[in-house]
Structure 1
Amino acid sequence: MRAAAEHSACNLDGERIRMHIEPFGVEIWMNEWETRCTWNLAETCVESLTIRELLTLAGRNDTDLSEVLSMKMTYGAIEGSDRLRAAISALYDSQPAQNIIVTHGTIGANMLVHKAMVSAGDHVVAIVPTYQQHYSIPASIGADVQTLTLKEENGFLPDLDELRAMVTPKTRLIAMNNPNNPTGALIDRPMLEEIAEIARASGAWILCDEVYRGTDQEGSGMTASIADVYERGIGTAGMSKAFSLAGLRLGWIAAPPEVIEAVSIHRDYDTISVGMIDDHFAAIALEHREAVLARSQAITRENLATLDEWVAGEPLISWVRPRSGTTALLKLHLPVSSRDFCIDLVKETGVLFTPGSALGMEGYVRIGYANNPTILREGLARVSEALAR
């Protein structure tokens, strides 16, 4: 286990100030185990694309790789190329390119928003479970972080009366993610509008991590963005999950100009620009997003049907069936901690889950079901054998 990180600084009176941040539970778990498993059912990205597969989806071929040969490896466009930001803008109903800034993955986007928009003493409401950034980073800044816990009996959707009671005139930010990781719950546009109304009454900003946007189980698959719903909505996303291109390490922020300006000040210190090659291939993928997302939706919808059938046949497992995303929480009806269960499982069968304890949800494990269908089926078969024993 890693100890919490602390960084020292001094104020003008020479008093030492310590900034404390909690160890990142999920990332520590993945770093420890994902290279030691055979059947990775903890993976959260839709089955990753090769560059050749991306070019094929875009109607191109290997000869198009020649485009990168003449690229001079400068920093490139600082905020992201005009081409890329235009392609990102097309994912939204009302976000022009000037409301977009490109970042090092969604993880970089989230970090920049918290650093730019939250100060010590601010009141932040984080809807959990969620990606740990959304409560540990503001807490490390010195914010007063209050958490609203999603409940299974509500389908892992937020209790709006509870949220309304938490949000006060002092609330600076509401942090959430939609579609939700790890539950797969989906807040539809009417509920997003209700959440926006709660925030509007206090003047709070809403940061919505939308990295799984595009993987809804029904319809077009495209969740409404908070940036299009609320005038103080900040949407973050990236190429990793729905677009199957985690290796590009490219994300973005969609937000009002004042947020982009505030973020840019912080971004100058830790980003400068993303890689030109990453920018190039992300633009190709987004310009052909219909084909890329159709592939992702075919995988997630087929695999969720497989997982649904498997859960129905396992008396020691129950769940709330996801409506979007690539992950689900499986409830364990076993007298064992989630961490012990996951360690025993990977050692015995080679199958990797993520323990709920790494997500603040003891009694559950998280499964990622958007990988290669063969890996999912083979992994589940081995879990069934272990449960039977």
Structure 2
Amino acid sequence: MKIEPFKVELWMNEHEEKAVYNTGETCVDSISMEELFELAEINKEEKLTELMQKRLTYGHIFGNPVFKQGIASLYKEIDPEQVLTTHGAIGANHLVLYSMIEPEDEVVAVLPTYQQLYSIPESFRATVKRHTLSPENNFLPDLAEVRQLVSEKTKMIIINNPNNPAGSLMDEGMLKEIVAIAESVGAYVLSDETYRGLTQAEEDSPSIADLYDKGISVSSMSKVFSLAGLRLGWIATRNPEVIEECSLHRDHNTISCGMLDEELAGIALAHKDKILDRNKKIVRDNLKILDEWVQKEKHISYVKPQAGTVTLLYYDFDRSSRELCIDLIDNHGLLFTPGDCFEFEQCIRIGYACKTEELIAGLNKFSEYLATI
């Protein structure tokens, strides 16, 4: 089965380890096991002794119950049995699309977004209609255009909320309108919600799984909870057909997730409020720094993100995004992601949720570079 190369992953694979200033990272500053235990007020020695006694079996085939209960607590209408655990959100997205999309199906997907959300259904020979978001519309969908794109053949509408790479956020009103569009043709809505909860304002960030009985939410422990090393994600949906189909297909590529990983994730979600408080402070403090920097840089502009950990920086000089990013990483140790990884140009993606000191150092280095333009 042929599939388009995953541009952003290929870029990170080649260049991330060269970074002196990693402003390409998309997770909130990662936490260690020791920091996790401190946040959870767990006795480290006792917990490690307990973990060392565990036999390393497959563990819970359908997911550690504590972990699944923690996932369900992130939603209003989801029960633990309506959750499937996966190998990261990347595994969750793949499992949904692998299970639900056939060659004769039609899919409507937003762009820019995480590439697998449109490249995987394209690889299955489905018809993918792309809805391109624009900075002029604050990287939010044009609902009139979405209505024109759907048809009686549309099996699924695919969105990404909050958006990667733009940092835009669809509110409940817009999500309900997308639900109405999907309902009009009987389509599912798959929402990659990997950054859900990391809002700049104190506002609710509803899940599609709570708003629509054919809504499918995908997320992970990586971005919002700073635990990418656990490689855990999930599918949450109230739709029994999706649970059944994804469960059948899951047997072919997962069996179970790591038992120690799920144990640690269960601890994290049992203390999710503490981690979210930490991480919202990081993204909000760091965005203030980024915003002040953008305002003073004459060559740079952006649509200020509403949520998540990333955004697109537009520049006003004549150079491809890939050439610019190669120059920055190879000659200055500064990592960004080229806009062309998301099929956009004249922009680069920055991850601003790293350690504050690293963000400041990276922006200062970029300022030195821009001064030479």
Deviations 1:10-30 (A, max 9, x none): xxxxxxxxx220000000000
Q: Structure 2, unaligned stretches of length 5 or more?
A: none
Q: Structure 1, unaligned stretches of length 5 or more?
A: 1-18
Contact 1:353 1:365 in 2 (8 A): yes
CA distance in 2, matches of 1:57, 1:257: 36
State the 1:67 CA deviation. 2.4
2:95 to 107, 112, 122: 112
CA distance in 2, matches of 1:84, 1:293: 17
Counterpart in the other structure of 1:227: 209
Counterpart in the other structure of 1:16: none
Matched, 1:206 2:226: no
Matched, 1:290 2:270: no
CA distance in 2, matches of 1:175, 1:76: 32
Deviations 1:158-181 (A, max 9, x none): 000000000111100111110000
CA distance in 1, matches of 2:10, 2:197: 27
2:356 to 355, 369, 373: 373
Which amino acid counterpart does residue 125 of structure 2 have in structure 1? G
Matches within 5 A, 1:133-282: 133-219=116-202, 223-255=205-237, 256-282=239-265
CA distance in 1, matches of 2:49, 2:140: 48
Q: Secondary structure at the match of 1:34?
A: helix
CA distance in 1, matches of 2:102, 2:60: 29
**How many residue pairs align between the two structures?**
370
CA distance in 2, matches of 1:250, 1:54: 16
CA distance in 2, matches of 1:66, 1:238: 27
CA distance in 1, matches of 2:50, 2:109: 43
Contact 1:306 1:377 in 2 (8 A): yes
Counterpart in the other structure of 2:43: 61
CA distance in 2, matches of 1:29, 1:373: 24
Matched, 1:305 2:288: yes
CA distance in 2, matches of 1:83, 1:352: 37
Which amino acid counterpart does residue 117 of structure 2 have in structure 1? H
Counterpart in the other structure of 1:10: none
Counterpart in the other structure of 1:27: 9
Contact 1:52 1:61 in 2 (8 A): no
Contact 1:175 1:206 in 2 (8 A): yes
Contact 1:192 1:226 in 2 (8 A): yes
Which amino acid counterpart does residue 280 of structure 2 have in structure 1? Q
Contact 1:174 1:205 in 2 (8 A): yes
Matched, 1:93 2:76: yes
Q: Secondary structure at the match of 1:270?
A: coil
Q: Secondary structure at the match of 1:47?
A: coil
Q: Looking at both structures, which has the greater relative contact order when contacts are Cα pairs under 8 Å and sequence separation is at least 6?
A: 2
Contact 1:98 1:257 in 2 (8 A): no
Which amino acid counterpart does residue 3 of structure 2 have in structure 1? I
TM-score normalised over the length of structure 2: 0.98
TM-score normalised over the length of structure 1: 0.94
CA distance in 1, matches of 2:252, 2:2: 20
Matches within 5 A, 1:343-362: 343-362=326-345
Which amino acid counterpart does residue 55 of structure 1 have in structure 2? F
CA distance in 1, matches of 2:57, 2:71: 22
Shifted more, 338-347 versus 314-323: the winner is 338-347
Counterpart in the other structure of 1:333: 316
